[in-house]
Every structure is written in structure tokens, then in C-alpha cells.
Structure 1
Amino acid sequence: MPKSYAIGHLQNVQVGADIIEYLNRIDDTMEPFGGRFLVHGMPHQVVEGEWPGDVIIIEFPDRASVEAWYRSDAYQAILPLRTDNADGRVIFIDGNDEDHRGPDVFEDLAV
């Protein structure tokens, strides 16, 4: 089963007490669901187009885990600390199997 990911694209983050509290508490909310940061706070280089803001990628063992984490009481308790202090978009997406190749996407398309 492929892993699943929560991917956030944040802009206009107002770093202050609320964001600091959010960052201090988020790891504890992910731990029961097997979540871990793959990309968080790293500098990026834009090579095509524009990319304002930051990317966060959190890996989970499967889709059920990422959805359960996001809906958990622990995460919902800190979520306003971020949403009230940053503009963002968040998606959940499953990863590919290890043997995935580029043309494999044709299997899901009516080509």
C-alpha cells in the first residue's frame, strides 16, 4: 500500500506567539498516526514560474492515517493557530507504488 501525504502551500505566515505554539505542538499530533515531516521550513529554488510561500510535506503510512490525523481532536485544537495566521492550501494525496513509471498514468486516462 502506498504512503499518503498531507501537502501544504503556505503564504503570508505571520510569525508570532500562535505560530510558535502551533509548531511546538504539531509533532505530538502527528505521532499517534505515524506522521513525519518530509519537507518543512527548507529553502527552495524556483526554476519555472512563480512559487510564493512555503511547501510542507508530511508523510503518513496510508490515507486513513492522514485523514484521522487531520480530524483528530489534538490537531483540530491547534489548527486555528495556523489558519488565523497564514494563508494556505492543503491537500491529501497518495504516493505511487515503488515501481511506478511515467507511462503508467495512461492506465487511468481514456487515451
Structure 2
Amino acid sequence: MSAYAIGNLRPTSPLHEDVFVYMEKIQSTLDPFGGRFLVHNATLEVREGAWREALVVIGFPGIEEAREWYDSPAYQELVPLRADHIPGDIVLVEGVPLGYDAGKTAAAFREAQAQAQ
């Protein structure tokens, strides 16, 4: 099942030189774990709420690969180049399996809620 590293970043302007170095080197840390950028420096079209941050989404074959990438010495060496200059939040999350049905999940939540009352 696919997994994702999601960054909710708040870049400052102008960007620090370290951020450019981070961007130039990050792909080489992703390659051994099958990681690839799915969203990076994209224009966001906010439909609800307020979103002022930059969104980054990196896809991986699975959650283990995402964890191994984040914890790898190669990536950990780069983290300060970004984190020292761009505050934000980073999460790793598993995707849903092929054929996922939100209606079935709603039914399970409804049943669990009814049993809890």
C-alpha cells in the first residue's frame, strides 16, 4: 500500500542558500526508497478555509520505505538545511488500499458509535 510524506511548510522570502542546497540534494535521498515528488511548488486553489502554507507530497511504495527514507543518514544530514530556514510540519501517512470504499468506513464508524452509546 502506498505511503506519503506530507510537508506543510511556511517558507520565508528570500530563501536561504541552504534551502537551495536541500532542494538540489533531496532526490538522491529519495531514490533508494522509491520516493518521488507528487506535489512540489504547486499553486494551491483553496476551496474551503484558509491555507497560506506550501504543500509538498512525496509518494513511496509503502510506509516502511517512507520511514526508512526519513530516518536515513543521507536525509537526516539534509533536514537542518530546510528546517533551520523553513518552519513547518512533516507527517508520514499510509494511503488507502486500491478499491477503498468510504461508505463502508462510514458504516463501521456509525456502528462503533452506536455501540458506544
Give the TM-score of the pair, scaled to structure 1. 0.93
Deviation at 1:108, TM superposition (A): 5.7
Structure 2 distance, partners of 1:43, 1:12, is 14
* Residue aligned with 1:19, SS: helix
* Structure 1 pair 99–51 and aligned structure 2 pair: CA distance change class (3 A): same
Partner of 1:54: 54
Partner of 2:7: 8
Structure 2 distance, partners of 1:69, 1:19, is 19
Deviation at 1:107, TM superposition (A): 6.3
Partner of 2:36: 36
Show structure 2 runs of 5+ residues with no match: none
Structure 2 distance, partners of 1:66, 1:90, is 12
Deviations 1:73-104 (A, max 9, x none): 00000000000001100111111112012213
* Residue aligned with 1:57, SS: strand
Give the alignment's Cα RMSD to 1 decimal. 1.3
Amino acid at match of 2:78: I
* Residue aligned with 2:79, SS: helix
Report % sequence identity: 35
* Structure 1 pair 65–13 and aligned structure 2 pair: CA distance change class (3 A): farther
- Give the paired residue count: 110
Deviation at 1:106, TM superposition (A): 3.4
Structure 2 distance, partners of 1:35, 1:77, is 17
* Structure 1 pair 108–23 and aligned structure 2 pair: CA distance change class (3 A): farther
* Structure 1 pair 32–45 and aligned structure 2 pair: CA distance change class (3 A): same
Amino acid at match of 2:52: P
Show structure 1 runs of 5+ residues with no match: none
Give the TM-score of the pair, scaled to structure 2. 0.88
